[in-house]
Amino acid sequence: MSIQHALHCRTKIVATLGPASSDYETIRDLAVAGADVFRFNFSHGSHEDHAARHAIVRRVEAELGEPIGILADMQGPKLRVGKFKDGKVTLQSGAPFRFDLHDEPGDETRVQLPHPEIIRVARPGSRLLMDDGKLAVVVEKIGPDWLETRIEIGGVLSNHKGVNVPDVALPIPALTVKDRRDLEFALSLGVDYVALSFVQRPEDVSEARALVGDRANLLVKLEKPQAMENLEAILELTDAVMVARGDLGVELPPENVPLAQKRIIRLARKLGKPVVVATQMLESMISAPTPTRAEASDVATAVFDGADAVMLSAESAAGQYPREAVRIMNRIIWRIEQDPEWQASMSVARLAPEDFVADAIAGAAQQVADTLKASAIVAYTHRGATAFRIARERPLCPVLGITPTHEAARRMALVWGVRAFLGGQGKSVTSVESMVDVAQDVVAKAGVGSSGGSIVIAAGLPFGVAGSTNLLRVAKIP
């Protein structure tokens, strides 16, 4: 039995697992409803929790017969205020307020800020945002272990609320001690993608790459304005990227977030890196069985922009309607992808192939498929790179990736328009003729096209060698 999405879409769905979606039945239902990748949020839950979910996902994958990707999302450095004598205080706009390193409980005049890095780099005029930007202060004076600020936006501030510092690059690593423990555990499970939180500079990506190696693909979450300043250098070093609009929306003015989203998607597509749009996509479905019309439009915008995937966070992890959230997201994607204007926009935004053989083959595969109105493009790919490059062209026919490894198949679950298949269904590929036979079998298994239709095949000679894509073949469906 294979996964039968209620509506099979090119744009993928990432669903976060959590308390509302940790049992076998729910996870299976989410996969059948359209989830292609499951996100494990290491900000919450124990290693035992994540191991149990991992085992269930792999059990569901085996039963349903198509690869499912797993994304392990590292927490990253969390900046928080200390605690208050009464648990919370009300800060008045215009009043002075001090942050310091002392661990005594705070009051209406001061609180601990247990992050000397912030005090070290802050400057007069720097802004500190608290509780997801609901409160704001401006730094006026700086001491060796304190900041004197003026409250710009007041309100209730309670124990251990988060702090954002949008104006300066903080000298803190993207991977904390906790992250390093979580990373090794996630890699020992065999996750497919590792998400790196609060990246500021290319060096953060290089540090993570040295730890991860080729055991998983690396996905960078863009949440800091400093990352936007180093965007191209960061994207060059990663395998995939996420527009993490939660913290990015706190640190950037709201009117800049849509522009940042479009810029990230545009550059990621240019570089052939899968891009995920995340945070608050169907937020109201945490407690309601249907989304708002604005949320439906938000998902549609990401699809029109050409994102590889859209993500559900609390909607599927902790909400009351995880199944409904995946189903409605799938329906929105499907409806947009059937629209002639969307199809025209994919063609207009298509990028010219880059100056190397594999990319030329990928570009030619799309052009030939479009000219012949082919039923599918079949990509033989050892590690997934060929399918990634073909997906960059946004062909309107399905892309079927054939790979010998579970790892590559699962990594392709995040990639726009690609369905992955293992091996050759019992047949070995040793010649062009056997390559065509296996491709025809995979097309039949995928259920695309009909007898007499065309398929376009991209592969490499010699067979089975990574990075050798150099062959394009057109065949007929028997």
Please, are residues 46 and 73 in contact by the beta-carbon 8 Å criterion? no
Residue-wise pLDDT for 288-336, tens only, equals 999 999 999 999 999 999 999 999 999 999 999 999 999 999 999 999 9
* Residue 348 pLDDT grade (very low, low, confident, very high; cuts 50, 70, 90): confident
Across 60-90, b (16+ Cβ under 10 Å) vs e yields bbeebebbbbbbbbbbbbebebbbbeeeebe
Q: Say whether 209 is catalytic.
A: no
Catalytic residue among 16, 279, 381, 386: 279
- All structural domains of the chain, each given as residue ranges with its CATH number in brackets, are 12-76+174-338 (3.20.20.60), 88-164 (2.40.33.10), 350-476 (3.40.1380.20)
Residue-wise pLDDT for 229-269, tens only, equals 999 999 999 999 999 998 888 888 889 999 999 999 999 99
Q: Judge if pTM exceeds 0.85.
A: yes
Those residues with Cβ within 8 angstroms of residue 154's Cβ, 6 or more apart along the chain or in another chain: 90, 91, 92, 93, 94, 95, 135
Does the structure show a pLDDT above 80 at 428? no
**Mean pLDDT across the chain:** 93
* pLDDT above 70: percentage of residues in the chain: 97
Please, are residues 119 and 142 in contact by the beta-carbon 8 Å criterion? yes
Catalytic residue among 26, 58, 78, 80: 80
Q: Say whether 127 is catalytic.
A: no
Question: How far apart are the C-alpha atoms of 323 and 26, rounded to whole Å?
Answer: 7
Catalytic residue among 12, 53, 221, 419: 221
* pLDDT above 90: percentage of residues in the chain: 82
* Total length of the chain: 478
Q: Say whether 39 is catalytic.
A: yes
Catalytic residue among 39, 350, 394, 410: 39
Please, are residues 352 and 454 in contact by the beta-carbon 8 Å criterion? no
